[in-house]
Amino acid sequence: MENGQHQQSFIQKYIFSTDHKVIGMQYAINGLLMAIAGGFLAYVFRYNLAFPGKDIPLFGQLSPMQYNTFITNHGMIMVFWVGMPLLLSSLGNFLIPTMVGTDDMAFPTLNMLSFWIFFVSSIVLLLAFFVPGGAYGGGWTMYPPLSANAYMNPNPDFFQALFSGASLMLLAVALEFVAMLMGGINFVVTTINKRAKGMTAFRIPLIVWFIDIASVIFMFAVGPLVAGAFMLLLDITVGTGFFDAARGGDPILWQHLFWFFGHPEVYVLLLPSLGVLGEILPVFSRKPLFAYKSIIYMALFSAVLSVVVWAHHQFVSGIDPRMATFFSIGTIIISIPFAGIFLAFMATLWGGSIKFTTPMLFALGFIGLFLVGGLTGLFLGSNAFDIYAHDSYFVVAHFHYTLFPDIFFGFFAAFYYWFPKFVGKDLDKTLGKIHFWLTTIFFNLTFFLLFFNGLAGEHRRINNYSFFGNVNKEPYTTFEKICTVGAILLILSQFVFVINLIKTLRSGKKAAKNPWNATTLEWVTDSPPKHGNFDTFPVVYRGPYEYSVPGCNEDYLPQNQEN
C-alpha cells in the first residue's frame, strides 16, 4: 500500500500540504488565531459597555462607529471564522479519514485549496479594518438598505465601493463559503467512497455522520445566500436595486435569503460538536452510546426541519403575521429531535462507570450550559413573546448560551481528547481541569445576568445604555459591569490553555497509541499517525461503541478486533 514515505520539502510538508492532518491543523490554528481577534473585539466593546466613554486599556477611546464595527465583526468572526473552521473543517479533516480507516481525503488537492481559500478569506475580512471608512458596522446580518449604502463617500466610484468595508465583508464570506463547499464535498465523498472494509453505514462513528449531515445541510442552504450576497454586492458596487424599495426591490428579500442559510448554519455548527459528545461520553462512561441509530435518525429529521424554520428570525420584520405562526410551529417542533439527542447523551451516563477526565468535563459542561441555551430558545420561538424579546439582550444571552458551549466547549472537549493522538503528546491533566472550571464559571458570570437586562428591555447594539431610562438604573448597570468583569476573566482563563499547550509541546510525555482505551479506528494507528495513517488498511468487524461487552476480558472491543 501507499505509505507516502517519499521525501518532501518543508513547504510541501507543512505549508502547501495535501495531508488531511496538516490541513486540519492549519484550520485549527487559523481558527484559534481568529478567535483571539474576535475575543479582543469582545473585550473592547464589553469594556465600553461597562464604562462608557472611558479610555479602554490596550485600546483607547471607542467611537460609536468603531463600536458598531466591532460588534459586527465579533459576530462574523466567531461564527464563520472560528466556529466553522474549528468544528467543521478541523475536526472533519482530522477525523473523517482516520475514523473511516483510510489514508487521506478523496480529493487531497481540493482539500489543500479549500484551506488556502479559507486563509485568503480571513485576510480579506481583516483587511476591511484598514480601508477608508473602516470595516462594516451594520450588524453581522448585513441588512440592506443600510449595507447597500454603507460607503462613507455618498457618490463612490466602482473601486471605492468595491473596497468598502461592506463589499470586503461580502467577498470574505463568499470566499469562505467556497472553501467550506470544497471541504464539505471532500467529507461526504470520503465517507461514502473510502471507508475501510466492513465499515457499514451503522458502524460509522457518530461524529463522522454528524459532520457529513452538517456538510449536506450547509451545501443545501448556502446557494440562496451566495446568490443574495452577489446581488447585494451589485447593489453596493454598480448601483442595482435588488433590495432597494424605491426601485422595485425589497429589503425583506435579503432577510429571507440570509436566514434561509443563517438558521441551518446554527445546526451546521451544532452537529459536529454533538458528534464530539457522541465520541467522548461513551469512552469515559465505558458504556455504548445510548440509542446510536435513533440519534442518527433524529439528526436527519432535524436536518430536514432546519431549512423550514428560518423566518423565526423575522417575526417582527413585517412579514405576514399568518406566516409567523407556521414558522413558530416549526421552530418549536425542531426542539423535539434535539431534545431527544441530548436525552440520549444523558442516558449514556446512566449505568456507566464515569471518569472525569478533562474532555469529559468539557463534554458534560457543554450539556449543562446548552440546556440553558436550548430552554431559553422556547421563549424566543414563541412568536408572541418574541414581539418583546426580539433583538434584546435576552437573545444575546440565549445565543451565547448555545454557541459558546457549542463552539468552545465542543472544540476544547475534542482538543483535549484527540490531542494525544494527532500531536502525540499528553496534555497536563491538572491545567486542563483548571481551564475547564475557570471557563465554566466565568462564562456564566459573563452571560447569565444578561437575560435580566434583556427582560428589562435592554436592546442590542447600543454603545451607551445610560441614555435609556428603563435600563439606566440598578441593578442593570451593575449587571453590565459584572458581565464585563466576567468577559475579561473568561478571556484571561484561556491563558491556562495556552500555557498547557506550550508546556506540553516543549516537554510533554509521548502519548500512547490508545490512551483512553477507545474503540474507533483512529486509536489503532500511531500517535501521531504518519503520512498515510495506517500500515495496512484496517478491517472493521463491529459498531463504534462496544464498551463493557459482557463476556469480554477488556472493557472495550476495538472496531478492528476480530473477536
Partner 1 sequence: MNIFPENVTTYAGEIDNLFWLIFTFVAIAFVISVIALIYPMIRYSNKNSPKAEYITGEKKKHFKWITIALVLLAMSDFVILVVEHGTWDKIEMNPPTDGVRVGITGIQWNWVFTYPGPDGKINTSDDIVINEMESELHVPVNTNVIMELRSRDVIHNVFLPNARLKQDVLPGRTNIRWVNFTKEGKYELICSQICGVLHSKMRNFIVVDSKEKYDAFMKDLYEKHNPKPKVDSPAKVATDSLQAKVPSADSTAKK
The footprint of partner 1 on residues 203-232 (CB under 8 A) is none
Stretch of residues binding partner 1 (CB under 8 A), selected from 13-21, 109-117, 287-295, 534-542: 287-295
- Of 144-203, binders to partner 1 (CB under 8 A) are 145-146, 149
Q: In angstroms, rounded to a whole number, what is the distance separating the alpha carbons of residues 412 and 362?
A: 7
Binding of partner 1 by 289 (CB under 8 A): yes
33 vs 323, beta carbon nearer partner 1? 323
Binding of partner 1 by 375 (CB under 8 A): yes
Binding of partner 1 by 515 (CB under 8 A): no
- Of 68-107, binders to partner 1 (CB under 8 A) are 68
Distances (CA, A) of 449 to 372, 438, 443, 453, 462: 13, 18, 11, 7, 17
Identify which of 199, 286, 190 has the alpha carbon closest to the alpha carbon of residue 560: 199
Stretch of residues binding partner 1 (CB under 8 A), selected from 20-28, 65-73, 122-130, 162-170: 65-73
User: What nine digits make up the cell of 466?
Assistant: 445610560
Question: Quick check: helix, strand or coil at residue 60?
Answer: strand
Residue 556, φ and ψ in degrees, nearest 5 = -145, 150
Mask for 9-48, x = binds partner 1 (CB under 8 A) = ----------------------------------------
Binding of partner 1 by 366 (CB under 8 A): no
Applying CB under 8 A, among 11, 200, 246, 506 the residue interacting with partner 1 is 246
82 vs 361, beta carbon nearer partner 1? 361
Q: Which residues pair with 197 in a beta bridge?
A: 539
Stretch of residues binding partner 1 (CB under 8 A), selected from 85-93, 172-180, 386-394, 487-495: 386-394
Distances (CA, A) of 150 to 132, 156, 231, 362, 487: 12, 11, 15, 41, 30
Applying CB under 8 A, among 164, 328, 440, 500 the residue interacting with partner 1 is 328
Shortest reach from residue 15's CB to partner 1, in Å: 40
Sign of torsion, CA 244 245 247 250? Answer: positive
How many amino acids of this chain bind partner 1 (CB under 8 A)?
92
Q: In angstroms, rounded to a whole number, what is the distance separating the alpha carbons of residues 335 and 552?
A: 39
The count of other CB atoms within 10 Å of the CB of residue 68 is 20
Binding of partner 1 by 325 (CB under 8 A): yes
Applying CB under 8 A, among 288, 373, 508, 529 the residue interacting with partner 1 is 288
Q: At what angle do helices 251-285 and 321-349 cross, to 10 degrees?
A: 10
Stretch of residues binding partner 1 (CB under 8 A), selected from 10-18, 142-150, 229-237, 303-311: 142-150
254 vs 261, beta carbon nearer partner 1? 254
CB 211 within 8 A of CB 187: yes
Shortest reach from residue 132's CB to partner 1, in Å: 15
Binding of partner 1 by 335 (CB under 8 A): yes
- Of 344-363, binders to partner 1 (CB under 8 A) are 344, 346-356
Question: Quick check: helix, strand or coil at residue 215?
Answer: helix
| CB-based burial, 135-174: b 16+ in 10 Å, e otherwise | bbbbbbebbbbebbebbeeeebeeebbbbbbbbbbbbbbb
Binding of partner 1 by 129 (CB under 8 A): no
**HSE of 92, CA atoms in CB hemisphere, 13 A:** 36
Binding of partner 1 by 330 (CB under 8 A): no
Binding of partner 1 by 292 (CB under 8 A): yes
Shortest reach from residue 105's CB to partner 1, in Å: 31
CB 468 within 8 A of CB 392: no
Maximal CA-CA distance, the chain: 78
250 vs 489, beta carbon nearer partner 1? 250
Applying CB under 8 A, among 16, 40, 129, 379 the residue interacting with partner 1 is 379
- Of 413-452, binders to partner 1 (CB under 8 A) are 452
Mask for 266-285, x = binds partner 1 (CB under 8 A) = -------------------x
Residue given cell 472493557 in the structure block? 555
CB 291 within 8 A of CB 347: yes
Binding of partner 1 by 53 (CB under 8 A): no
H or E element in which residue 91 lies: helix 91-100
Binding of partner 1 by 322 (CB under 8 A): yes
- Of 455-494, binders to partner 1 (CB under 8 A) are 455-457, 459-464, 467-470
CB 298 within 8 A of CB 237: no
Binding of partner 1 by 506 (CB under 8 A): no
3 vs 470, beta carbon nearer partner 1? 470
Identify which of 548, 194, 131, 203 has the alpha carbon closest to the alpha carbon of residue 351: 548
Applying CB under 8 A, among 156, 251, 272, 275 the residue interacting with partner 1 is 251
Applying CB under 8 A, among 59, 129, 385, 537 the residue interacting with partner 1 is 385
**HSE of 65, CA atoms in CB hemisphere, 13 A:** 9
Q: In angstroms, rounded to a whole number, what is the distance separating the alpha carbons of residues 1 and 18?
A: 18
